[in-house]
Structure 1
Amino acid sequence: MTAPINIDQLRQQQTTGFRWLRFQPELESRYQAIRDEGIRERARPVCASALVLFLVYALLDWVMLPDSLARQTIFVRLLITCPTISLVWWLSWRPMPSGVFLRVYGMAYLVGGLSVVGIIGIARLNNFPLPYEGILLMLMFGYFAMGIPFRLVSALSLIIVAAYLVMEAATGMTAPELAVNGFFIMTANIVGMVGSWLSEHRQRAHFLDRQMLEALRDQAEVESKRKSNLITVASHDLRQPLNIISLILENLKADGLPDEQLGLVTRLKSSVTHFNGLLASVLDISRLQEGMVKPEPEPLRPARVLAQLHETCGERADNLGVELAFSDHSGDQSVLADPQLLHRILQNLVFNALDHSGASRITVRAGADKGRLVFTVEDDGRGIDQTTRSKIFDPFVRSRKADDPGLGLGLAIVKELSELMDGRCTLAGDSGTGARFRVTLPSCPGEEAPEKALSFSPDSPHPGLLVVEDHDESRHWLQRTLSGWGYNVHAFADAEQALTHSETLSNAILVTDLHLPEKRGDQLFDHLSQKQAISGGVMVTADTSMAEGYNPSLRLWTLHKPLQPMRLRAALQQLMRR
């Protein structure tokens, strides 16, 4: 495997040029390896066409030349030239060290040229003069059709020309005739040399351009990976303390503080939630721009999509005093979409309306339209001004209103995610009152995957929550929050402790961090599911490359840190239902 070429080295070579058709040693060796492989591929059609031509010439010799002369020329063509061409064609398919095939290829050109010289010489000795055009054709074939490098083809061609002139002189051509023939042949040879030099110079320039593109692409990939790693590390390091703060604030609120302090806690909690939304938006748009998001479409029933959206957004709407209504008019059609990405699209639209529209009512509808599924999110708020409407889906575009929070990334993310799933999001209606966003996606008649079948009785008591979190402070506050909500919580620091305790469980809900020591959270979930110790779970992670959302076939929620208590509570309530 060859080492990558340095971009500065390529730029230096482009600056200094290569008039003498030579690169710096490292570049030259790479160019020659690529050139040799190209010549091997080129040799196959060239040899096939040359073989056909020499066979045609042999037939013409038989028709046009005297019998005695034809037998001699045909002998040269069929027993010397054609076998040489066939051997080169055969070798072009065989593995050979770099540079060896080029020398064989060049020798075949020399043999072909000398065979033409020999045929002309045989004709001279038989007092049947043949024209020198055969030498001209051979030279042009070597220079342009065969694509042999400039230096090698020039040297071989000079040998062929010299052999021809020596042959003509030896067979009695007069000096004036020899001078005329030599002039035209040398002129043709010079034209071929110039054309060959230009061709190789162009090939070398293209080689440098390709190497530069590959080097820039490799550099971009390295930078992309570095950026992705930075995003992941920064996400984890920022989200972990935010997660603890969010849980502490939830517990402070639950402890019944005085009104003034409770107001400060509420404002602080709102600020933490707002900061988490900003962080999530920046990370989402970064992942989209880096091509890190890969949708996995599957048939989904719109009614279930809307129900999950209500689970996520309902409490926030209630807290803001906004009526959130849902209606499904899709009939028997399913939507073909990635469940997590579709959930994120609709959630962003609803949250956008809650945060920016000043609406008292938001309606989310699902319906079929011309073979597609359309989700509409409509509010009765202040509307969007005409200037903003024209660029509403551009990144970092915000309303002109000074009190609008956010970075202006929510709708840009919606647009990108919709297009990833072969859909589109548009802003419908006029700028008068309210806003209506339409998300159009492919539909299909198939049913979505059913929720995982449970083996317990609907009336059986629930043994509670199994919490696994290796960070001590996060585990403490998460356990305290869940206990404050009335759940029976069993908390552990690693998967092994949870597995040991699970021997007595048959119907628990698992709440686990994804990145645990020794055994990952998703592996723990699979293991406990197979043992039927749990009936569902919530996977908590600071890795935002995993999309948030619900997987009904596994009965598994994925939530990002810092946890929003109302979202965690809504997910647990859904999993607890029978």
Structure 2
Amino acid sequence: MITLSLIDRTIEKGFPWLFFPKPLEQEFQAFVRQRILNRILPVGISAALFIIVFSGLDWLLLHPIVAKHTSIIRLGLVLPAIAITTLWLYFKPPKYYLAVYSVGLILANISIIYIIWLAHVQGINLPYEGLMITIMYAFFIMALPFYLALSINLAMVCMYALTEPLFYLNFSDYLNHVIFLSVILVSAAIGAYVTEHQLRANFLRKRTLDIHHQNTLKSIEKKNKYLAAASHDIRQPLQGLSLMSDLIKRDHPHDVNIEHVAQGIATLQSMFNQMLDLSKVNLDLLKPQFDQIYLTNFCHQVINNVEQTAKRKGILLHHDIHDAVVSSDYTLLSRILHNLIDNALQHSQCRDIWVYTDLQDNHAILSIKDNGLGIPESIQQTLFDEFTKGDQSQTGLGLGLAIVSQFCKKLGITLTFESNENGSCFYLTLPISEKLTVNEVVNQNKAKLLLVDDDVDLAANLTQKLSGWGYEVTQAHGLQHGLSLVEQDWDVVISDWNLGDGCGEEIIQYTCNNKIPSVMISTHDSATIRSFVDKVGCAYLQKPISPSRLRASLLQLK
């Protein structure tokens, strides 16, 4: 196994002989193999072109008889060898790819030496520049490993030196040719050595960065998993606090202290949900459930949820929503719109906020505009990054717009914005649904609702809230109790996943089989639950459940 300590020791000791410790060397050779195979096609094509060009030059510079022989060697032997090795290595490279790769080079060297000898026999003084080209080709173009390229080129120079006396040259010419070719070999070898040494050094640096990157990703994943796991213990009490404060606030609407408590709980829940949303995105746990959304009802619902905050701040909310049906995930889209409006409420220092839609071709453009101070140019490029704030004194974690951006990517929504000193405007481009039907809203004043949850306190809080909305609620505390009641005539069924004596899957399965609108709730957000919800097509909410999200889901039921 390759570790940072192994890489550090290798760098410290150096590698003058161009060898790494075994684990590193094996990985480097795999890297070299891929590097060579990636360039095999251009190398093979260029080599073939060289052979064809030199074959044509032979007919221009040599005697026709000699040119005929050289053409047979170049075009009949070397060119097919290059073509075969190139295609072989490109389509199905074997384990011994270097041996196959070297065949073309060896044949080219032998053919050049033979052609020089043949020309000299005919009294033609043919230079040995072709050998210099193959030396450079082996070291740099083919990028053969240093020792392999050196061995082949050294063998070629020795072969030339041994056959040179057969060219009937005098000793001074012989010595000049051999020495000059040897100097070329040494110079090229030095350059190739430096190149491979640098290649190995870069490989170690890249491998170090890869290990650091992997360790960072593992650390982030562990932290996200820890956050997701820790949330399970926090969800239940936070859910209870939210529902209880809402009930108390309804009974004491003018109590300032209760209002402050409610605001604190809402802020805590918002920050908590933002952290969880971000961890879900990072862990790729968000699975959008696309449905038809009637924009008028949808936008009015989200706007109603923030209206009290706007009134408290003295900000006017304006809306002009077209009757359009879009295809999206209701929960995620509501979070996007809520975050954008809330961002304007909290940070823009505006007097008015407009929410309106425009229809263009097959898309609806949902716009959120304010007349505040605008977004500082210094943060516009990083506006959707995590923990970005226009002013560090602002409250919150700086995650709202980062979540908006991530959710838009999940839903395939185009998100853009414009901002200047007169305010900002965010644009959401959504696809219009081809099936233009409006979801039927349950008549709350007459709806009979079955609530199945083994948490008695939570069920009591939910019942009070649902009753306040006009539902006639019946509680069931456990799976068996729920199964004994679910066959009655219900307009809506809400069931927890974990029911102590069993799983709420059976209850929701029954409701879906009998076309009863239903909502699955759970503290956990596992792949099993998501898969089941996708299969049966029920609504799904993860605890802690805010009253606004619960009501929005009930309004959306068909």
TM-score calculated relative to the size of structure 2: 0.77
CA contact (8 A) 1:336 1:441 kept: no
Once the two structures are TM-superposed, the CA of residue 271 in structure 1 deviates from its matched residue by 3.8
Once the two structures are TM-superposed, the CA of residue 36 in structure 1 deviates from its matched residue by 1.7
Please, which moves more after superposition, 60-69 or 223-232?
Answer: 60-69
Match of 1:281? 274
Is 2:427 the partner of 1:440?
yes
Q: 1:53 aligns with which of 15, 36, 50?
A: 50
Match of 2:335? 344
Instruction: Give the SS at the match of 2:191.
Output: helix
Instruction: Give the SS at the match of 1:111.
Output: helix
Match of 2:36? 39
CA contact (8 A) 2:58 2:67 kept: yes
Match of 1:548? none
Once the two structures are TM-superposed, the CA of residue 32 in structure 1 deviates from its matched residue by 0.8
Deviations 1:258-317 (A, max 9, x none): x99x98777655543332223223434556678876878888554223222145345777
Between the aligned partners of 1:90 and 1:184, the Cα distance in structure 2 is 35
CA contact (8 A) 1:298 1:337 kept: yes
Q: 1:305 aligns with which of 279, 290, 298?
A: 298
Task: Indicate the percent of aligned positions where both proteins have the same amino acid.
Answer: 25
Deviations 1:18-52 (A, max 9, x none): 33222221111111122123323433333333334
Q: 1:215 aligns with which of 211, 215, 222?
A: 211
Q: 2:7 aligns with which of 7, 10, 32?
A: 10
Between the aligned partners of 1:70 and 1:418, the Cα distance in structure 2 is 69
Between the aligned partners of 1:323 and 1:144, the Cα distance in structure 2 is 70
Instruction: Give the SS at the match of 1:489.
Output: strand
Match of 2:358? 368
Cα gap change, 1:266/1:127 in structure 2, threshold over 3 Å: closer, same or farther?
closer
Match of 2:139? 143
Letter aligned with residue 199 of structure 1: T
Match of 1:433? none
Between the aligned partners of 2:202 and 2:395, the Cα distance in structure 1 is 51
Match of 1:115? 111
Match of 1:528? 511
Between the aligned partners of 1:61 and 1:219, the Cα distance in structure 2 is 60
Between the aligned partners of 1:357 and 1:167, the Cα distance in structure 2 is 87
CA contact (8 A) 1:423 1:440 kept: yes
Deviations 1:439-496 (A, max 9, x none): 3222666667534569x9x79964x3232335565446545765687632232434x7
Letter aligned with residue 222 of structure 2: R
Q: 1:508 aligns with which of 491, 512, 529?
A: 491
Cα gap change, 1:253/1:303 in structure 2, threshold over 3 Å: closer, same or farther?
closer
Deviations 1:502-548 (A, max 9, x none): 3333x43122335678998689646522321x224364556599xxx
Deviations 1:139-158 (A, max 9, x none): 22222222211111111111
Please, which moves more after superposition, 229-238 or 202-211?
Answer: 202-211
CA contact (8 A) 1:511 1:539 kept: yes
CA contact (8 A) 2:235 2:543 kept: yes
CA contact (8 A) 1:297 1:421 kept: no
CA contact (8 A) 1:157 1:189 kept: yes
Instruction: Give the SS at the match of 2:152.
Output: helix
Once the two structures are TM-superposed, the CA of residue 226 in structure 1 deviates from its matched residue by 1.6
CA contact (8 A) 1:285 1:413 kept: yes
Letter aligned with residue 426 of structure 2: V
Q: 1:103 aligns with which of 99, 103, 106?
A: 99
Please, which moves more after superposition, 40-49 or 408-417?
Answer: 408-417
CA contact (8 A) 1:300 1:334 kept: yes
Between the aligned partners of 1:147 and 1:7, the Cα distance in structure 2 is 28
CA contact (8 A) 2:293 2:439 kept: no
- Aligned counterparts, 1:219-234, within 5 A: 219-234=215-230
Letter aligned with residue 331 of structure 2: Q
Instruction: Give the SS at the match of 1:180.
Output: helix
Once the two structures are TM-superposed, the CA of residue 107 in structure 1 deviates from its matched residue by 3.7
Please, which moves more after superposition, 271-280 or 405-414?
Answer: 405-414
Once the two structures are TM-superposed, the CA of residue 190 in structure 1 deviates from its matched residue by 1.4
Instruction: Give the SS at the match of 1:176.
Output: helix
Please, which moves more after superposition, 203-212 or 149-158?
Answer: 203-212
Deviations 1:245-266 (A, max 9, x none): 4445567789x89x99x98777
Letter aligned with residue 368 of structure 1: D
Between the aligned partners of 2:48 and 2:210, the Cα distance in structure 1 is 38
Match of 1:423? 415
Instruction: Give the SS at the match of 2:126.
Output: coil
Between the aligned partners of 2:313 and 2:61, the Cα distance in structure 1 is 103
Cα gap change, 1:477/1:301 in structure 2, threshold over 3 Å: closer, same or farther?
closer
Once the two structures are TM-superposed, the CA of residue 189 in structure 1 deviates from its matched residue by 0.8
Cα gap change, 1:307/1:121 in structure 2, threshold over 3 Å: closer, same or farther?
same
Between the aligned partners of 1:503 and 1:322, the Cα distance in structure 2 is 50
Once the two structures are TM-superposed, the CA of residue 242 in structure 1 deviates from its matched residue by 1.9
Instruction: Give the SS at the match of 1:442.
Output: strand
**Greater RCO, CA 8 A, separation 6+:** 1
CA contact (8 A) 2:302 2:334 kept: yes
Cα gap change, 1:121/1:562 in structure 2, threshold over 3 Å: closer, same or farther?
same
Cα gap change, 1:97/1:541 in structure 2, threshold over 3 Å: closer, same or farther?
same
Instruction: Give the SS at the match of 2:149.
Output: helix
Between the aligned partners of 1:399 and 1:42, the Cα distance in structure 2 is 52
Between the aligned partners of 1:120 and 1:353, the Cα distance in structure 2 is 82
CA contact (8 A) 1:425 1:440 kept: yes
Match of 1:490? 475
Is 2:169 the partner of 1:173?
yes
Cα gap change, 1:192/1:389 in structure 2, threshold over 3 Å: closer, same or farther?
closer
Between the aligned partners of 2:375 and 2:427, the Cα distance in structure 1 is 24
- Aligned counterparts, 1:347-426, within 5 A: 347-348=338-339, 364-368=354-358, 373-376=365-368, 395=387, 397=389, 406-407=396-397, 409-410=399-400, 413=403, 421-425=413-417
Between the aligned partners of 1:234 and 1:122, the Cα distance in structure 2 is 83
Instruction: Give the SS at the match of 1:440.
Output: strand
Please, which moves more after superposition, 390-399 or 69-78?
Answer: 390-399
Between the aligned partners of 2:12 and 2:332, the Cα distance in structure 1 is 48
Q: 1:84 aligns with which of 81, 86, 104?
A: 81
Match of 1:469? 453
Between the aligned partners of 1:32 and 1:183, the Cα distance in structure 2 is 34
Q: 1:561 aligns with which of 533, 543, 553?
A: 543
Deviations 1:208-240 (A, max 9, x none): 344334333333332232222122112222112
Instruction: Give the SS at the match of 1:131.
Output: coil
Q: 1:157 aligns with which of 153, 160, 163?
A: 153
| Aligned-pair Cα RMSD in Å | 4.8
Is 2:19 the partner of 1:22?
yes
Instruction: Give the SS at the match of 1:423.
Output: strand
Once the two structures are TM-superposed, the CA of residue 114 in structure 1 deviates from its matched residue by 1.9
Cα gap change, 1:42/1:246 in structure 2, threshold over 3 Å: closer, same or farther?
closer
Once the two structures are TM-superposed, the CA of residue 179 in structure 1 deviates from its matched residue by 1.0
Letter aligned with residue 31 of structure 1: F
Once the two structures are TM-superposed, the CA of residue 564 in structure 1 deviates from its matched residue by 3.5
Is 2:195 the partner of 1:199?
yes
Instruction: Give the SS at the match of 1:488.
Output: strand
Between the aligned partners of 1:141 and 1:38, the Cα distance in structure 2 is 16
